[in-house]
């Protein structure tokens, strides 16, 4: 069983190799969230996520025969990198099965840390099946990403740290996929300070833990795409669910747009790069999904391994959510000078046009007129209203694209 004693033992076991990440107070995000908010920056670990804790603890519990045969794991990226790095560091052969759509940076880094990468399946579940097949074929020891007591205990060491870093802690909010992080963290925190409220956060696209709690048993939910691929686990763990039932007060969900907005705010206001999964806890607090007000809260920023080719799209979605980027369809006369008035109004209102094109064959455009598809950088929702109101006063027909 995972207990506070096994978590303490894990901490001693991994202490020399794992960075005690900072737990930084954020004045800006505190104001936005309505709580006193600290960020536990697990994105600063060597491989960019908290997964190192559980992976290393499991590796250090291998018996010599297991280490000699090597290890295998299935992962969407962060557990893969953690196993690759620490297995290689300890001279143990590692093979990792990853979904074919895993971000390239995570695949590359996993290989660079020394493991053999096998791309298999469209989802974590399919990669997991391939890893199980290879385990039997080659005699590897399987290192599960979350459904393993040593892994859960390793992740739980975060709970010990935050209780030391924020002694008067009142709540902790953490991402949840399969439940290894949340289960271990909650066990450590609740056993040592039962008054602390523990809340998990999932993407609403893949609410496997929410469904498991509802049905009192692991449930396989439908596959879906999400920017929080690090917690895109379709079925909660058999070992993690009882811990979450026992220690976690609530599990809530956030949307893709809310996650994107949190990534943007963490990057812009805190100079902290979080991947989708790493931003979910902060997203829930910023969107007031947790019911917490005026509390001393730690948000776990669990990882920062985001593909830079995806980052620009996520930032753009965050800007749209934040009201700093808007796309309008504006109907104008199709003649010389027809565009001039539109542009002059936007310029006078200090909007920055980032994209503009004419559409003459779509959107029910009449002969003699055109639709201008225009994207504008703004200062926020009130600024958008100023621009659209001024355009309408000038007798333009304006439709905002959502």
Q: Degrees (nearest 5) of the Cα angle 261, 214, 279?
A: 20
Output the CA–CA distances (angstroms, integers) from residue 113 to 68, 87, 138, 229, in the order listed: 19, 9, 21, 21
pLDDT: is 294 or 320 the higher one? Answer: 294
List, edge to edge, every strand of the sheet that includes 369-377: 352-359, 369-377, 325-333, 397-401
The total number of structural domains that make up the chain: 2
User: What phi-psi label fits residue 368: left (phi over 0), alpha (psi between -120 and 50 degrees) or beta?
Assistant: left
pLDDT exceeds 80 at position 235: yes
Question: Looking at residue 120, what is its pLDDT?
Answer: 92
Instruction: Please enumerate in sequence order all residues whose Cβ is within 8 A of that of 12, keeping only pairs 6 or more positions apart, or say none.
Output: none
In the three-class reduction of DSSP (H, G, I as helix; E, B as strand; rest coil), residue 174 is classed as strand
Question: Looking at residue 223, what is its pLDDT?
Answer: 87
List, edge to edge, every strand of the sheet that includes 71-74: 116-119, 94-98, 71-74, 141-142
Direct distance between the N- and C-terminal alpha carbons of the chain, in angstroms, rounded to an integer: 49
What mean pLDDT is reported for the chain? 93
Assess whether 247 and 302 both reside in one domain. Answer: yes
- The pLDDT > 70 percentage for the chain reads 99
Question: Looking at residue 361, what is its pLDDT?
Answer: 66
Question: Looking at residue 17, what is its pLDDT?
Answer: 96
> Is there a contact between 327 and 387 (Cβ–Cβ < 8 Å)?
no
Q: Note the Cα 346 to chain centre separation in Å.
A: 36
Assess whether 260 and 358 both reside in one domain. Answer: no
> Is there a contact between 191 and 4 (Cβ–Cβ < 8 Å)?
yes
Q: Would you state the torsion angle of the CA atoms of residues 231, 26, 53, 136, taken in this order, to the nearest 10 degrees?
A: 10
Question: Looking at residue 334, what is its pLDDT?
Answer: 81
Assess whether 75 and 93 both reside in one domain. Answer: yes
Question: Looking at residue 163, what is its pLDDT?
Answer: 98
pLDDT exceeds 70 at position 221: yes
> Is there a contact between 313 and 335 (Cβ–Cβ < 8 Å)?
no
Question: Looking at residue 309, what is its pLDDT?
Answer: 81
> Is there a contact between 85 and 54 (Cβ–Cβ < 8 Å)?
no
Assess whether 27 and 74 both reside in one domain. Answer: yes
Assess whether 318 and 330 both reside in one domain. Answer: no
pLDDT exceeds 80 at position 124: no
Domain boundary, last residue among 276, 291, 322:
322
Phi first, then psi: give them for residue 142, nearest 5 degrees.
Answer: -85, 130
> Is there a contact between 371 and 358 (Cβ–Cβ < 8 Å)?
yes
pLDDT exceeds 80 at position 123: no
DSSP secondary structure string for all residues of 245-302 = HHH--EEEEE-HHHHHHHHHHHHHHH-----HHHHHHHHHHHTT-S---S-EEEEEE-
In the three-class reduction of DSSP (H, G, I as helix; E, B as strand; rest coil), residue 133 is classed as helix
Beta strand 197-203 with 171-175 is: parallel
Assess whether 256 and 363 both reside in one domain. Answer: no
The span from the CA of 230 to the CA of 226, in Å, is: 9
Summarised one tens digit per residue, pLDDT across range 304-314 is: 998 888 888 88
Name the residue among 37, 17, 94, 30 with its Cα closest to residue 62. 94
What's the whole-number mean pLDDT along residues 240-251?
Answer: 98
pLDDT exceeds 80 at position 103: no
Assess whether 137 and 165 both reside in one domain. Answer: yes
Lowest mean pLDDT among 125-129, 192-196, 335-339, 360-364: 360-364
Q: What is the CATH number of the domain that holds 175?
A: 3.40.50.1100
What are the tokens at 37?
A: 């908010």
The span from the CA of 119 to the CA of 109, in Å, is: 14
Question: Looking at residue 53, what is its pLDDT?
Answer: 98
Domain boundary, last residue among 264, 296, 322:
322
Assess whether 184 and 308 both reside in one domain. Answer: yes
Summarised one tens digit per residue, pLDDT across range 33-48 is: 999 999 999 999 999 9
Q: Which domain holds residue 111?
A: 1-322
Question: Looking at residue 347, what is its pLDDT?
Answer: 95
The span from the CA of 11 to the CA of 188, in Å, is: 11
Assess whether 250 and 371 both reside in one domain. Answer: no
Domain boundary, last residue among 268, 302, 322:
322
What's the whole-number mean pLDDT along residues 264-270?
Answer: 93
Assess whether 229 and 302 both reside in one domain. Answer: yes
Q: What is the CATH number of the domain that holds 331?
A: 3.30.70.260
Assess whether 295 and 330 both reside in one domain. Answer: no
What's the whole-number mean pLDDT along residues 257-266?
Answer: 91
Band of residue 99 on the pLDDT scale cut at 50, 70, 90? confident
Assess whether 313 and 337 both reside in one domain. Answer: no
Summarised one tens digit per residue, pLDDT across range 327-384 is: 999 988 888 888 899 999 999 999 999 999 887 766 677 777 888 899 999 999 999 9
pLDDT exceeds 70 at position 281: yes
């Amino acid at each position: 069983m995972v207990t506070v004693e096994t978590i303490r033992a894990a901490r001693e076991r991994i202490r020399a190799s794992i960075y005690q990440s900072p737990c930084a107070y954020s004045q800006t995000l505190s104001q936005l969230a309505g709580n006193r908010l600290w960020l536990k920056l697990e994105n600063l670990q060597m491989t960019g996520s908290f997964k190192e804790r559980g992976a290393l603890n499991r590796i250090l519990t291998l018996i010599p025969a297991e280490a000699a045969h090597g290890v295998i794991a299935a992962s969407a990226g962060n557990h893969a990198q953690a196993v690759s790095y620490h297995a290689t560091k300890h001279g143990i052969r590692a093979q990792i099965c990853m979904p074919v759509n895993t971000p390239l940076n995570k695949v590359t880094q996993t290989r660079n840390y020394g493991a053999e990468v096998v791309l298999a399946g469209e989802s974590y579940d399919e990669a997991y099946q391939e890893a199980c097949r290879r385990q039997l074929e080659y005699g590897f020891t399987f290192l599960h990403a979350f459904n393993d007591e040593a892994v859960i205990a390793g992740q739980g060491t975060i709970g010990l740290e935050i209780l030391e870093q924020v002694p008067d802690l009142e709540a902790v909010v953490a991402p949840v996929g399969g439940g290894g992080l949340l289960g271990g963290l909650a066990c450590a925190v609740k056993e040592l300070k039962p008054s602390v409220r523990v809340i998990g956060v999932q993407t609403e696209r893949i609410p496997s833990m929410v469904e498991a709690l509802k049905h009192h048993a692991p449930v396989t939910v439908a596959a879906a795409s999400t920017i929080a691929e690090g917690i895109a686990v379709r079925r909660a763990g058999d070992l993690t669910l009882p811990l979450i039932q026992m220690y976690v007060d609530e599990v809530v969900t956030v949307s893709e747009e809310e996650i994107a907005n949190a990534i943007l705010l963490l990057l812009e206001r805190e100079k902290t790069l979080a991947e989708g999964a790493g931003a979910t806890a902060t997203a829930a607090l910023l969107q007031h999904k947790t019911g917490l007000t005026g509390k001393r809260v730690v948000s776990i920023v669990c990882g920062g391994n985001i593909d830079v080719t995806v980052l620009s799209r996520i930032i753009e979605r965050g800007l749209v959510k934040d009201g700093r980027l808007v796309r309008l369809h504006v109907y104008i006369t199709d003649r010389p000078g027809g565009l001039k008035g539109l542009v002059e109004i936007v310029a006078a209102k200090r909007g920055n046009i980032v994209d503009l094109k004419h559409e003459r064959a779509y959107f029910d455009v009449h002969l003699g007129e055109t639709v201008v598809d225009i994207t504008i950088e703004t200062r926020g929702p009130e600024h958008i209203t100023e621009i659209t109101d001024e355009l309408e006063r000038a007798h333009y027909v304006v439709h905002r694209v959502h």
